[in-house]
Amino acid sequence: MKYQLFHAKSFDPTPLAGTLSTAGIETTPVHSSDDLIVGERPTILLLDPAGRQLFSLANLRSFVDAGGAIVALAGEGDGPAAPAIPDHLLSGLIATPYQTRELLISLKTAFRDAATRTENKRLRANAEARSKELDELTRIGVALNTERDYDALLSLVLSQARRVTSSDAGSLYLVESAEDGTQMLRFKITQNHSRPEIPLYEFTIPIDHTSIAGYVASTGEALVIDDAYFLPPDVEYSINRSFDKKNRYRTKSMLTIPMRNHKSEVIGALQLINRKRDREAVLAAPEDFDAQVTPYSRRTVDLVSGLAGQAAVSIENSQLYESIERLFEGFVTAAVTAIEQRDPTTFGHSGRVATMTVDIARATDRVTVGPYEDLSFTREQLREIRYAGLLHDFGKVGVREQVLVKSKKLYPPDLTLLKQRYAFIRRTTERNFYRHRTEYLEQHGNEGYDAFLERMRREYDDSIKGLDRFLSLVLESNEPTVLPDGSFDELLQYADHYYQDLDDAQQAYLTSDEVRYLTIRKGSLDESERVEIESHVNHTYRFLMQIPWTSELQDIPRIAYGHHEKLNGGGYPQGVRGDDIPIQTRMMTIADIFDALTASDRPYKRAVPAESALNILSSEVKDGMLDADLFQIFHEARVYEEKDQSPTI
């Protein structure tokens, strides 16, 4: 039947039965509004005066809004109890007694109204469905474009495709090239709502017509299969049932779509399995597959094709993003290698500082009390911290190498010259001893010679002893110390000693520059050299500011710039205080100092045990130089015990 006619039980359609049946109209008596169901067919409610008592105006309005039409019979049966039906709800009004022809004409008109309303309802429903689909695809597109994690992106693509098509399972294949240039399809990810425990085993298949995914990837055509176990006999592809048998599954309806990038190149295949009537249904028994699984419609093909196009671009963008990240990683590694080759004694320092700083940030994420209990770092922020740690000392490329690698207070050539001076003075003293002895014998012979020789030898021995002490003091003073230590009074006495050079001119044992270097009280650098070393942070900042960082990494220059600043303003290069120093920088400062103290590869100092280094850091905390809360986190999390590991983000 093409049409539906509802009428009150009080109306007798018998005289019209033949005519209505011939016209494809099914008549159904109704007893209440619950019997009124407007489906896909044009539907009329025929109300006689008695039947009008069954329905309220709200019932009639709902019926019309649902797409139905109303024809009313008016006559002597109308009374106060019969509701007045507004004209806009009526498609026809006939007085009783009615003429059959007149009624049929009214019904024909009403059916046209109902058909129009039904079609409009269908069109509105389709429009709403399309609008929802567009909104859904837009939302999915935004989600795909914002997901930076490659594996998470692939999972998101497949899960969203399954969701919009109510698919029970699915797989995603990606095109990859072998070393010889041959292209293959890699089975990259799979999902199964009914069998979530099924493990993923990656493998590759050829891009040819032997498999369904290979066929789609090679031809670029979508495949819709109503039942994978009953493929047409003339197709080249086949399905491997071993997976179903092993996992007690039944692959039935399938939709496989090629994934094309912006160049229309196929980069993979998206395969959906077993479209379900109820998205949340679990296919556990054979009868579940029969009851729930339905073929993929033309509309689902269009939907998934659109989604596959978005997914292909997002995947390619993600691959490009990963490629850029690998490129940048290579650049950072090369930059760190460059600085460490200039100063091999600090090899590994940048990596250890980066590791510890990231670990401090992660440990800070875990705290539940204190000023940082609400602080957390995203994956991108941790990557930003890591890069800042790796590059924090890159500015040392702008420092003179002799200053950068200076391990003693005197430069090696200067110490060599001083040793030669000592040897010259010692040899001169020895030569004078023998010359004076010869002159005495020439002038006085053996008379008093023994007493003279004894006096001369005592003076000679004292001079040699003094010279050896002088060299010993020079070598001792040339060794740097981590903390201010020692007295230079004895060494300074030798600054007032003189000797005659080859031109018989008086020269001091120690030049003013040598005295200045040897009396450095901490480390191996004098003030001018220290300023030059400290300038590396400015070089680092200027270098890092030249890099066009992404928005997620734009704070790297600022984080690295302040790693020698102190909370009390006593650091460099700007002498900023407290919260003006980024928290990431304060973390890096703790890591940098700890590694500098404990590193065993610095020739200008002895390695400090971890416990002693912690005590030194604690002292700086008490002096207001380091962040007390971050140091506590660093200490309690024992971050320093893993400082040799490479950070992973």
Q: What is the mean pLDDT of residues 400-418?
A: 89
Range ranked top by mean pLDDT from 78-82, 181-185, 270-274: 270-274
The larger pLDDT score, comparing residue 562 to residue 600, is at: 562
Nearest to 582 by CA among 361, 422, 274: 361
pLDDT value at residue 150: 77
**59-116 pLDDT tens trace:** 888 888 888 899 888 865 554 444 578 888 888 888 877 788 888 888 888 888 888 8
Which of 321-335, 346-360, 591-605 comes out lowest in average pLDDT?
591-605
Q: What pLDDT sits at residue 140?
A: 65
Q: How confident is the model at residue 138 (pLDDT cuts 50, 70, 90)?
A: low
| 273 contacts 251 by C-beta, under 8 angstroms | yes
Least confident of 176-190, 282-296, 418-432: 176-190
Q: Please tell me the chain's helix, strand, coil percentages from 3-state DSSP, rounded to the nearest 5.
A: 55, 15, 35
26-30, 105-109, 130-134, 294-298: range with lowest mean pLDDT = 130-134
> DSSP per residue over 267-294, as a string?
EEEEEEEEEESSTT----SHHHHHHHEE
Amino acid at residue number 331: F
Q: Which helix (H) or strand (E) holds 169?
A: strand 167-177
The domain limits of the chain are 3-122, 147-321, 343-403+532-642, 412-523
Flag whether pLDDT at 449 surpasses 70.
yes
Quick one: pLDDT at residue 82? 46
pLDDT at site 155: 86
Buried b (16+ CB within 10 A) or exposed e, 128-145: eeeeeeeeebeebbeebe
Q: What is the CATH number of domain 147-321?
A: 3.30.450.40
- Please give the Cα distance from 569 to 619 (Å, whole number): 16
Identical fold, 3-122 and 147-321? no
Contact 616, 597 (CB under 8 A): yes
Range 273-289 average pLDDT: 93
Fold of 343-403+532-642: Hypothetical protein af1432 (1.10.3210)
The pLDDT tens digits for 318-343 are 778 788 888 888 888 888 888 888 77
Tokens of 51: 């039947």
- Helix or strand (DSSP H, E) at 506: strand 506-508
Kindly tell me if the per-residue pLDDT of 488 is higher than 50.
Answer: yes
Q: Please state the rounded mean pLDDT for residues 537-542.
A: 94
Q: Where does the pLDDT of residue 142 fall: very low under 50, low under 70, confident under 90, or very high at 90 and above? A: low
For domain 3-122, is the CATH number 3.10.310.10?
no
Say whether pLDDT at 125 is over 80. no
Q: For the ranges 63-67, 279-283, 431-435, 603-607, which has the lowest average pLDDT?
A: 603-607
Q: Roughly what angle, to the nearest 10 degrees, separates helices 583-598 and 628-636?
A: 60
**Residue range 311-323: mean pLDDT, rounded:** 79
Residue 642 clears pLDDT 70, i.e. is over it: no
H helices within 536-603, ranges in order? 536-545, 556-561, 583-598
**What pLDDT, on a 0 to 100 scale, did the predictor assign at position 145?**
67
**What is the average pLDDT across 291-301?**
91
The pLDDT mean for the chain works out to 87
Q: Which tokens in the block code for residue 211?
A: 């498999």
pTM confidence score: 0.62
Q: Does residue 252 register a pLDDT over 90?
A: yes
- Between 405-409, 513-517, 627-631, the lowest mean confidence (pLDDT) is in 405-409
pLDDT, position 83: 53
Using CA atoms, how far residue 370 sits from 207, 365, 591, 592, 640, in Å, is 58, 12, 21, 24, 21
Closest CA to 228 of 295, 169, 299, 160: 295
Which tops the pLDDT comparison, 142 or 385? Answer: 385
Percent of residues, the chain, with pLDDT higher than 90: 43
At 146, the pLDDT band (50, 70, 90 cuts) reads low
